[in-house]
A and B are shown apart, each in its own frame.
Chain A
Amino acid sequence: MRFLLDAEQRAFAASLDALLTAAGTPAVIRDWSRGDHAGGRALWSRVADAGVFALAVPEAYEGLGPRPVELAVAFVELGRHAVPGPLVETVTAAALLAGADPGTAERLLPALASGEAMATVAPEGAHALDGDAAAVRIAWAPGRIRLSPGHGPVRPSLDPARRLTPLLPGGDVLGLPTDEALTWARLTTAAQALGVGLALLDRTVGYVKQRTQFGVPVGSFQAVKHRLADAKIALEFARPLVFGAALTMEPADAAAAKAAACEAAYTTARTALHLHGAIGYTAEYGLSLWLTKARALRTAWGAPEECRALVVSATGDRRW
């Protein structure tokens, strides 16, 4: 029992952080929001070169995985930098395709591992994230997954960096969905949300130390401190749930991590907005890139109530 990231995992996080810090991510996000995918694709390929998507793909299909702990490490960093694109969906597609027939897996997975192609997935009839950017679009119905031939018109999300598209009917049936795919979706969404929350907390702590009112930094007021302390508590207790779920890959564990991390990120977003005042309410100020994502991730791949329902319906010898 050593429930801590090892040196290699921490180094992986640090190298991704450095890569994303150097990449000018905010400009990439704003371009992506306008449907200009060039910068996003370039960033995607650098993230893929760092090995992120390969972690979700089995070695048999030119991947390095599946390695959920490392993937969670990566998604915390992707969330911290608000990287746009169908990140969770590409991982989820990889999990679905790994369970599809070997021919399909062989045809589609290597391109996901290398970053050459993005994938998106949505339950049949729902909107898929970034269907206009993805090369692989999977519609997920009970009993089958289908490769959609295309996407309909883009609808905006509350998070401008998330572009929502219906998937066109028809296309090849690829096989049966696997239950694990939903666990992958929830795990990576939870890790991404944790990263979003951590970034919001960091930026807000920085802001309240500099912003003065009544002649002192607003961060010296107890009311301000306590809201930030609560955000810190929520995030620090979501973190072990995320990594615990990565270790077990149990559906209820991933659901618990998703509920807690998304709640923590969302509460932190509300706190961040409030403590920034009106500047935080503007689209031009950088905080908006994380604020809106915290809201969107909360309901992606299972709203809080759905995840909680799974937690209480889990059976078996749970030592929770």
Chain B
Amino acid sequence: MDLAFSPADEAFRAEAREWLHAHVPRAPLPSLETEEGFAAHRSWEAELAADRWSVVNWPARYGGRDAGLLRWLLFEEEYWAADAPGRVGQNGIQLLAPTLLDHGTEEQQARILPPMASGEVVWAQAWSEPEAGSDLASLRARAVRTNGGWLLTGQKTWSSRAAFADHAFGLFRSDPDAARPHQGLTYLMFGLRAPGVTVRPIARLDGKPAFAELFLDEVFVPDEDVIGEPGRGWRIAMSTAGNERGLMLRSPGRFLASARRLEELWRRRGRPAAARDRVADALIGARAYRLFTYAAASRLLDGESVGPESSLNKVFWSELDIALHETALDLLGPEGEMADTEWAERYVFALAGPLYAGTNEIQRDIIAERLLGLPKGRR
């Protein structure tokens, strides 16, 4: 058992740190949930990609550095410590790309991954529907077979980044007669500006269009935009939800950096005793999440899988994120109300954590049933 990184890993960290120090914009970019900010963040993705820092763990042929899991974690620590901009490409990079790398064809990988890495094509996720949130298997939007492809019809909602993104990916019901709700689903990609697609931006709490509703009316998707076998979409989506994504949805580097910034804020405000324990808990929580992730990464590198343990992560980081940002706003006092600050932006972002990617209640059910072995019951 050790926490020491190899000289080569440390050299990688140092190279990342140096590059970030030279390139991170001095002033924060406008919010990526605005049109102007989205464009600025897209340019930042291009700048990252130009020196192959946008997707360090991908294969080199698609713009990555073949960096592996540990170096990805180190890169993320440096990235957030450098106060670099939020990643507008993350839905594609963290959710779709691993799926394509595991289940996509080589043609799909070569066509889709490089422009994703550069920010030229930004992806939105399209999982949720008005009647299907955490109970994703109940989704209704359908894919109907047509000559050379599929026609998508239905409604998707809470689609993060879709107000300004280029493409989206999600599950569609391709066999309404399948025996079980998890069966007969197909994993498809579609263009947000394709004929038949209507995007209605939805403003989140602070008024910024962070997500959108998508209305699909016989949107044509060619066969080459189906991922994996038609009808097997659920299994494909869940397999990528397994190992690495459990770690990759939110890397510890983000919380380490935020906790350190909170500590600085607390010091600058004269170390008020009333907030001391909350600041300490943010630091302790960030350290716990970091070390937990190193343990999980060590297991993955040993060839083990993580599986339902990723539900522990999800609840932990989402609650840590909110507590940390609430503390910051409280420390700021009346200034904490100002909506145009980095703290406020991050606070609003954090508020969504327990709701998306499967609500924390669903995660607790998974922990109780699959990790503790408690009997299934009515929800």
Total residues of chain A contacting the partner, CB 8 A = 48
Selected from B1, B290, B377, the residue in CB contact (under 8 A) with A247 is B1
Asked if B3 and A320 sit within 8 Å, CB to CB, the answer is no
Kindly provide the distance from the CB of A221 to the nearest chain B CB, expressed in whole angstroms.
6
Interface of A is mostly: helix
Asked if B367 and A312 sit within 8 Å, CB to CB, the answer is no
Complex: how many Å from CA A160 to CA B127?
Answer: 55
Selected from A1, A226, A256, A308, the residue in CB contact (under 8 A) with B364 is A226
Selected from A224, A239, A243, the residue in CB contact (under 8 A) with B1 is A243
Please name the residue on chain A nearest to B371 by beta carbon.
A232
Counted as pairs of residues, one from A and one from B, with CB atoms less than 8 Å apart, the total is 156
Asked if A237 and B289 sit within 8 Å, CB to CB, the answer is yes
Question: Of A76-84, A151-159, A212-220, which stretch is located at the interface?
Answer: A212-220
Interface string of B363-379 (1 = CB under 8 A from A): 11101110111111111
- Which residues from chain A contact B235 at a C-beta distance below 8 Å? none
Question: Of A2-10, A39-47, A100-108, which stretch is located at the interface?
Answer: A2-10
Asked if B364 and A219 sit within 8 Å, CB to CB, the answer is no
Selected from A229, A240, A311, the residue in CB contact (under 8 A) with B294 is A240
Asked if B2 and A2 sit within 8 Å, CB to CB, the answer is yes
Q: Is B266 an interface residue (CB 8 A)?
A: yes
Please name the residue on chain A nearest to B377 by beta carbon.
A220
Asked if B283 and A312 sit within 8 Å, CB to CB, the answer is yes
Asked if B290 and A2 sit within 8 Å, CB to CB, the answer is no
Question: Of B23-31, B204-212, B242-250, B274-282, which stretch is located at the interface?
Answer: B274-282
Q: Is B331 an interface residue (CB 8 A)?
A: no
Complex: how many Å from CA A216 to CA B378?
Answer: 11
Q: Is A147 an interface residue (CB 8 A)?
A: no
Selected from A201, A225, A247, the residue in CB contact (under 8 A) with B2 is A247
- Which residues from chain A contact B256 at a C-beta distance below 8 Å? 319-320
Q: Is A233 an interface residue (CB 8 A)?
A: yes
Complex: how many Å from CA A76 to CA B373?
Answer: 22
Q: Is A248 an interface residue (CB 8 A)?
A: yes
Given contacts A1-B294, A230-B364, contact A312 B276 (CB under 8 A): yes
Given contacts A1-B294, A256-B283, contact A233 B1 (CB under 8 A): no
Selected from A6, A228, A260, A319, the residue in CB contact (under 8 A) with B374 is A228
Selected from B3, B281, B368, the residue in CB contact (under 8 A) with A226 is B368
Q: Is A209 an interface residue (CB 8 A)?
A: yes
Asked if A308 and B277 sit within 8 Å, CB to CB, the answer is yes
Asked if B365 and A1 sit within 8 Å, CB to CB, the answer is no
Complex: how many Å from CA A243 to CA B377?
Answer: 36
- Which residues from chain B contact A5 at a C-beta distance below 8 Å? 1
Q: Which of B277, B289, B369 has the most CB of A within 10 A?
A: B277
Please name the residue on chain B nearest to A305 by beta carbon.
B277
Q: Which of A265-315 contact B (CB under 8 A)?
A: 304-305, 308-309, 311-312
Total residues of chain B contacting the partner, CB 8 A = 57
Selected from A3, A225, A233, A319, the residue in CB contact (under 8 A) with B298 is A3
Q: Is B291 an interface residue (CB 8 A)?
A: yes
- Which residues from chain A contact B301 at a C-beta distance below 8 Å? 2
Selected from B9, B266, B361, the residue in CB contact (under 8 A) with A312 is B266
Asked if B365 and A225 sit within 8 Å, CB to CB, the answer is yes
Asked if A220 and B375 sit within 8 Å, CB to CB, the answer is yes
Interface string of B310-322 (1 = CB under 8 A from A): 0010011000000
Q: Which of A227-246 contact B (CB under 8 A)?
A: 228-230, 232-233, 236-241, 243-244
Selected from B259, B281, B283, B367, the residue in CB contact (under 8 A) with A229 is B367
Q: Is A205 an interface residue (CB 8 A)?
A: yes
Asked if A312 and B292 sit within 8 Å, CB to CB, the answer is no
Q: Which residues does A use to contact B, with CB under 8 Å?
A: 1-6, 9, 69, 201, 205, 208-209, 216-217, 219-222, 224-226, 228-230, 232-233, 236-241, 243-244, 247-248, 253, 256, 259-260, 304-305, 308-309, 311-312, 319-320
The 10 A-B pairs at the shortest CB distance, nearest first, are namely A220-B377, A240-B291, A225-B368, A308-B280, A229-B364, A229-B367, A3-B294, A237-B288, A219-B374, A311-B280
Between-chain CB contacts (< 8 Å), 16 pairs: A1-B6, A2-B1, A4-B299, A6-B1, A220-B375, A222-B378, A224-B374, A226-B368, A228-B372, A229-B364, A236-B309, A236-B312, A237-B316, A243-B291, A308-B284, A311-B280
Known: A229-B363, A259-B284; 15 extra A-B contacts, CB below 8 A, are: A1-B70, A220-B374, A226-B365, A232-B367, A233-B316, A237-B292, A237-B312, A240-B291, A256-B284, A305-B277, A308-B280, A309-B280, A312-B279, A320-B260, A320-B283
Q: Which residues does B use to contact A, with CB under 8 Å?
A: 1-6, 9, 70, 77, 256, 259-260, 263, 266, 271, 276-277, 279-281, 283-292, 294-295, 297-299, 301-302, 309, 312, 315-316, 361, 363-365, 367-369, 371-379
